[in-house]
Amino acid sequence: MEIKSVIMAAGKGTRMKSETPKVLHKIFEKPLLGYILDNVKNLTDENFVIVGHHADEVKAFVDKNYKNSKCVLQSPQLGTGHAVSMVCPYLENFEGQVFILNGDIPLITESTLKKFIEFHNANNSDLTVMSTIFENPTNYGRIIRDENGNFKAIVEEKDTTDDEKKVKEVNAGIYLVNWAKIKSAFSHLKSNNAQGEYYLTDIVEWGKKQNLNVFAYILENSDEIFGINSRKHLAEAARIMNERKLEELMDNGVTIVDTSNTWISEDTEIGQDTIIYPFTYIEGKNKIGKNCKIGPCAHLRGDVEIQDNCKIGNFVEVKKARIGHNTNAGHLSYIGDSELGSYVNIGAGTITANFDPISRTKNKTVLKDHVKIGSNTVLVAPVEVGEGTNVGAGSVITKNIGEWTLALTRAPLRIIEGWVKKKN
């Protein structure tokens, strides 16, 4: 069945205390909204993102990165029910399912969302809500069940009675609905609650009244639905995401020397027997081969591909680069917008000067196989160094150099014997 999604991203995120809209706050340089869109992209045919607060910024991010997603403006923002109702005009005759997700839950995984869809279909459900058990359920909407344990309603924290406050099963903010059956709920929502908002969560009671099949799917790993409302939550989510990634890598045969001081983004693949030394920070999408040594204190900034048996050592920053096998950059270097062949050696303190501040463009450095770059070299891009060529230490390379050549720029060394003594 066709599935479309609605992702709610219009809220201000007051508790973040920020000029940046909440859903554009980042973990590993990827906005929270990007995590949700990446997790639904293989499951849905089209996504609607509800934008409102700083709509232009959010829309720019979505339009640039997610081609099958459309932003729909919600202004003013009158609550989550009001947010979803913004898509009604686009889905008048839609017969499929609609996935509805809060935009602030970056830890949810594609495999959980898949299981959720399977549960919905297996139970012939019309409306399924994802729930989980929290020891401290404060601030979340509570799942209220009747005496037979059947799901009855969701009550927001601010509207709960004392008894309801004790309920530990909470609403995750993820819903799947059979659109044709649920769509008329949106014209019946009322805002007579503690926050004066149109709550999406009220569609549960409405559905029950219409005798629709309404279910809650209880998620065991409650980490996944951790919602970001503050900077503390942002740091906590980053920690959980990182821990999850390091475990996955270790299970696949990667050594992480110090799990408490290594950061590796979800979108990084690493081959077997590679060792990641402490204080390494890897963000964005990267692919690292087998038997590599990365760090300590290496920074990979995304779009980096490193083949097998390479070493990226202390204080080496790499961005947008392809690095062939058996290549080393051991110390204090910057490699950006570059293509390095195999068996290349990069001496300490080598810089690819990739940015031209006049044209404001980034330029490419190409080093062919077996190139040896002496320490403290600046490669002023665009520049290409041919196979086997050696560059002398301290050089500034501004022109292409052919194969098996020695290139060096060096002011003659002057030695003036006894000069210091004469001066004193």
Residue 83 binds ligand UD1, judged by CB under 6 A: yes
Q: How far is the CB of 22 from ligand UD1 (least distance, A)?
A: 6
Nearer to ligand UD1 by C-beta: 234 or 264? 234
Exposure pattern of 338-375 as b/e (b: 16+ CB <10 Å)? bbbbbbbbbbbbbbbbbeeeeeeeebbbbbbbbbbbbb
Sign of CA dihedral 373, 379, 381, 382: negative
Binding-site member from 171, 307, 345, 395 for ligand UD1 (CB under 6 A): 171
Q: Which residue has the tokens 């399924």?
A: 128
Binding-site member from 9, 40, 72, 323 for ligand UD1 (CB under 6 A): 9
Q: Which stretch binds ligand UD1 (CB under 6 A): 63-71, 117-125, 194-202, 342-350?
A: 194-202
Q: Which residue has the tokens 């149109």?
A: 198
Residue 79 binds ligand UD1, judged by CB under 6 A: yes
Q: Which residue has the tokens 């150099």?
A: 401
331 in active site: yes
Contact track, Ca ion, 94-133, x by CB under 5 A: ----------x-----------------------------
Binding-site member from 227, 295, 324, 392 for Ca ion (CB under 5 A): 227
Residue 347 binds ligand UD1, judged by CB under 6 A: no
**Beta pairing partners, 366:** 339, 384
Contacts of 187 (CB under 8 A, 6+ apart): 85
Rounded distance between C-alpha atoms, residue 193 and residue 211, angstroms: 24
Q: Which residue has the tokens 């080598």?
A: 350
Q: How far is the CB of 139 from Ca ion (least distance, A)?
A: 8
- Of 101, 47, 97, the closest CA to residue 69 belongs to 47
Residue 102 binds ligand UD1, judged by CB under 6 A: yes
Residue 10 binds ligand UD1, judged by CB under 6 A: yes
Residue 199 binds ligand UD1, judged by CB under 6 A: yes
Q: Which stretch binds ligand UD1 (CB under 6 A): 96-104, 120-128, 324-332, 384-392?
A: 96-104
92: tokens are 């008048």
Under a CB-based contact definition with an 8 Å cutoff, are residues 327 and 308 in contact? Answer: no
Q: How far is the CB of 158 from ligand UD1 (least distance, A)?
A: 9
Q: How far is the CB of 14 from ligand UD1 (least distance, A)?
A: 9
Binding-site member from 40, 55, 58, 200 for ligand UD1 (CB under 6 A): 200
Rounded distance between C-alpha atoms, residue 127 and residue 44, angstroms: 17
Rounded distance between C-alpha atoms, residue 329 and residue 285, angstroms: 20
Q: How far is the CB of 199 from ligand UD1 (least distance, A)?
A: 4
Q: Are strands 361-362 and 355-356 parallel, antiparallel or unpaired?
A: antiparallel
Q: Which stretch binds ligand UD1 (CB under 6 A): 2-10, 213-221, 264-272, 407-415?
A: 2-10
85 touches, from Ca ion, ligand UD1, none (C-beta below 5 to 8 Å by class)? none
Nearest residue to ligand UD1 by CB is 141
Residue 82 binds ligand UD1, judged by CB under 6 A: yes
Q: Which residue has the tokens 């898509």?
A: 87
- DSSP string covering 119-186: HHHHTT-SEEEEEEE-SS-TTSPEEEE-TTS-EEEEE-GGG--HHHHT--EEEEEEEEEEHHHHGGGG
55-65 and 32-40 are packed helices; what angle lies between their axes, rounded to 10 degrees? 40
Binding-site member from 106, 207, 227, 313 for ligand UD1 (CB under 6 A): 227
| Cα separation values, 406 from 67, 341, 372, 397, 401, Å | 48, 18, 10, 12, 9
Q: How far is the CB of 73 from ligand UD1 (least distance, A)?
A: 11
Nearer to ligand UD1 by C-beta: 201 or 328? 201
245 touches, from ligand UD1, Ca ion, none (C-beta below 5 to 8 Å by class)? none
Nearer to ligand UD1 by C-beta: 6 or 298? 6
Residue 50 binds ligand UD1, judged by CB under 6 A: yes
Under a CB-based contact definition with an 8 Å cutoff, are residues 223 and 98 in contact? Answer: no
9 touches, from ligand UD1, Ca ion, none (C-beta below 5 to 8 Å by class)? ligand UD1
Residue 140 binds ligand UD1, judged by CB under 6 A: yes
Enzyme catalytic residues: 331
- Contact residues toward ligand UD1 (CB under 6 A) are 8-11, 50, 52, 74, 77-80, 82-83, 102-104, 140-141, 154, 156, 170-173, 199-201, 227
- The contact set with Ca ion (CB under 5 A) reads 104, 227
